[in-house]
Amino acid sequence: MNSDVLSDAFFESLGSSNVALEKANTLPPACYTDDAFYRFEQEALFNHEWLCVGREAQVAKPGDYFTTRIIGEPIIVARDRAGVIHAMSAVCQHRAMLVAEGAGNARSFVCPYHHWTYGLNGDLVGAPAMGRTCDFEKSSAGLPVFKVEIWFGFIFINFDRDAAPLAPRLAEVGKAIANYRLDEAETLTPFTGQFPWNWKVMFENNNDGYHASRLHQGPLHNFVPSERAVFPDSDPADAGFLRFNGTLHPDASFNPTQRAVLPIFPDLVAEDRGRMTFANVPPTLSLVMTSDLVIYLILRPDGAETMEQDTGFLVAPGASKDPAFEHRLEMIMTSSRKIIAQDMHVDELVQQGLRSRFATRGRYSWQEGAQSQFNRWLILRYLAAWQALKARGEQGA
């Protein structure tokens, strides 16, 4: 990895972002722009952390599947005939053709190129005209499979077969959002967008309590003021962290009435209903939770300064049966789109600013506590990966 930023001096400099918020600096701009650092992040984060790829509802029936990609890796998620969810590479082990695209229902995955056929669990079950090939065994030519864990209805995968389970490392986050019972929520159809900025710019923006009363000032957002932001302590060794933001009244929602217009998640208590909850499982999942709607973001980087994102919505069980559901949902979507447009404009200009020779390592307001949590989560993994690379003699590769 040839880059000026991949050095002992650079990683030592991260220490000033790994201290108490009132003393901390932002991360170096190169963490958001440098191609070599992005490749380093693939090993430091994405090769070993649990990555959200979607919802169980996307593979509701046996044979259902969908495809996605993270850090350029094409992935299939499928439910087999016994009801078990599998995740595997979409790359045919013959000539690297992708064996599936999009989503649907299938009995198997047939490579369109030479018709190698794989089961819903990734096993190779058919390989035409391979009988004369020496030492060829179908049992050793299946699609590479990944670890899978389901958390509140979200499907996570891990490229690291030795990775520790996810749920125990999300105990505190799980407690905070348990009353939403997201595993029982209705999942609306997600949509995907492509964006010209680093994935951390998006993750930080979604957790930035400081800008809420400034960038989004006005009747569509002023019920959730920045000064009511709360940042619970978190252990960077855990898999996630939280941000709460108190609201001016219970059951606040992003629509012109400022109040919930969809059915409220039925098990929420007064504490839940008096705040917005932001639950984060980096590097891929961020949740924005109100009393009547949960927005989830699945971040999928594909370069140092580019990313894709799946944006989805969860509602209370049975909410969509209301004849007025689509009209009520549109009230929220119309307002949300205006707020999101402001965020997107900022994200794009922040990325441009990070490329400038004048970009510096700024200081934080107390209302940016989630950025400190995120930095500590990142830096713990950055430093461990850098030491591992040095031990293997790969830091200059």
Q: What is the pLDDT of residues 179-190, one digit of tens each?
A: 999 999 999 999
Which of the residue ranges 197-206, 211-220, 311-320 would you say has the lowest mean pLDDT?
Answer: 211-220
Q: How far apart are CA 195 and CA 302, in angstroms?
A: 10
Q: What is the mean pLDDT of residues 260-289?
A: 97
Query: What does the pLDDT read at residue 2?
Result: 44
120 phi, psi to nearest 5 deg: -65, -10
Beta bridge partners of 154: 55, 151
pTM exceeds 0.85, yes or no? yes
Residue 172 parent element (H or E): helix 171-177
**Residue among 83, 154, 93 at smallest CA distance from 118:** 93
Q: What is the mean pLDDT of residues 346-350?
A: 97
Q: How far apart are CA 251 and CA 23, in angstroms?
A: 36
- Does the pLDDT at position 221 exceed 90? no
119 Rama sector, left if φ>0, alpha if ψ -120 to 50, beta otherwise: beta
Helix axes 199-206, 369-392, angle to 10 degrees: 150
Residue 206 CB neighbours (<10 A): 19
Q: What is the pLDDT of residues 276-334, one digit of tens each?
A: 999 999 999 999 999 999 999 999 999 999 999 999 999 999 999 999 999 999 999 99
Query: What does the pLDDT read at residue 1?
Result: 41
How high does pLDDT run on average in the chain? 95
Complete DSSP assignment for 90-112? -B-TTT--BS--SEEE-SSEE-T
Query: What does the pLDDT read at residue 396?
Result: 58
- Does the pLDDT at position 9 exceed 90? yes
- Percent of the chain at pLDDT above 70? 98
Q: What is the pLDDT of residues 80-89, one digit of tens each?
A: 999 999 999 9
Q: What is the pLDDT of residues 70-114, one digit of tens each?
A: 999 999 999 999 999 999 999 999 999 999 999 999 999 999 999
Q: Enumerate domains of the chain plus CATH numbers.
A: 8-48+172-386 (3.90.380.10), 51-158 (2.102.10.10)
Structure tokens that stand for 205 in this block: 């923006």
Beta bridge partners of 249: none
Q: What is the mean pLDDT of residues 120-128?
A: 97
**Residue 3 — pLDDT band, cuts 50, 70, 90?**
low
Contact 262, 315 (CB under 8 A): yes
**Residue 215 — pLDDT band, cuts 50, 70, 90?**
confident
